Amino acid sequence: MASLHSRIFTLLLRLINKKSFLRRQLKKGRFNRFDCPEPPSSLFGRVIKKQLEGRNVFTLLPHTEPLNGKHVLYLHGGAYVQCFTLPHWYFLADIVKTTGVAITAPDYPLAPAHTYREAFNVVEKIYLQLVGLYGPAAIILMGDSAGGGFALALAQKLKEDQLPLPGQVILLSPWLDISLKNPAIEQIAPTDPFLDKESLQTAGELYAGGTNPEHYQLSPINGTLEGLGKITVFAGSNEILAADARKLKAMALEKGTGLDYYEYPEMVHTWMLLNFPESKKARQQIVQLLRGHA
């Protein structure tokens, strides 16, 4: 059974009708209500802010030397239309403090002003810069929600372009198919107090910019999993995105490719960014992955 903290949080999401938030933002064309575009400096040992293609790129450093030269490239969620939020920064601060790894977190281009093309252009350049500094084996691609889908799609594009692949990929409640056509979604939807399928589909169309939503760079569920190295997926059973996370797990099993899968019962979307017992347990697993332990 889910913890009391988790059940109270789920009830709160239903009371405030969290599912309607993105729909209202799309209607108004305003997506910055919950933004926290820059990391609070008090949370990190040091923050380095640079720009690439007019976008802010933050490097988050611990008080001590980074662990074994490992470096995380973190892609935030937000349905490809929303920037960082405060929970992102608290989550990343906890990871930096606990592991000692350095994290690069770009404010990548978002819809509706931009499409996936501009987002890939910026993030791929950042990734290759990090590879030049640390080597590909030291790079860990990680992202939540839309950022999780983006992280997997980036790894697939790197493979297609015969570029160096990261040491591992960690996907947190990933959005793997922007079309959300998986029929299993309908079975989960009544239990999801967070995500609205139709609103996500609209946001996905904006990000696609006219490209077929089945393109793997938009929906990495349609891309290759072979030869990508170590992939770990975290999903909650009460989020509609779990339908495609389960599908990804089945695809990996069928193809014999390595994929570790952790599904938490009764957890909502991106619960690992929050602060109840299940969040802390998931973060402990993520920390072990970053330290190089299964």
Q: Is the pLDDT of residue 220 over 80?
A: yes
* pLDDT tens-digit series, residues 241-275: 999 999 999 999 998 888 999 999 999 999 999 99
Nearest in space to 266 (alpha carbons), one of 188, 197, 200, 196:
188
pLDDT over 90 percentage in the chain: 91
The DSSP secondary structure of 254-280, one letter per residue, reads: HHT--EEEEEETT--TTGGGS-SHHHH
* Distance (Å, whole) CA 189 – CA 184: 9
What is this structure's pTM? 0.97
Residue 67 pLDDT level (bands cut at 50, 70, 90): low
Residue 170 pLDDT level (bands cut at 50, 70, 90): very high
* pLDDT tens-digit series, residues 4-62: 999 999 999 999 999 999 999 999 988 887 899 999 989 998 999 999 999 999 999 98
Its CATH architecture, for the domain 4-291, is 3-Layer(aba) Sandwich (3.40)
H or E element that contains 248: helix 242-255
Structural domain boundaries in the chain: 4-291
Q: Is the pLDDT of residue 69 over 90?
A: no
Question: Do strands 55-61 and 46-52 pair parallel, antiparallel, or not at all (unpaired)?
Answer: antiparallel
* pLDDT tens-digit series, residues 113-158: 999 999 999 999 999 999 999 999 999 999 999 999 999 999 999 9
Nearest in space to 269 (alpha carbons), one of 215, 199, 213, 212:
199
User: Which SS3 state, helix, strand or coil, does residue 144 take?
Assistant: strand
pLDDT at 66 (0 to 100): 60
pLDDT at 70 (0 to 100): 87
pLDDT at 64 (0 to 100): 76
* Distance (Å, whole) CA 17 – CA 210: 30
Distances (CA, A) of 44 to 19, 55, 222, 255: 32, 21, 37, 41
pLDDT over 70 percentage in the chain: 98
- Residue with the two structure tokens 């899968």: 261
Q: Which amino acid, one-letter code, is at 97?
A: K
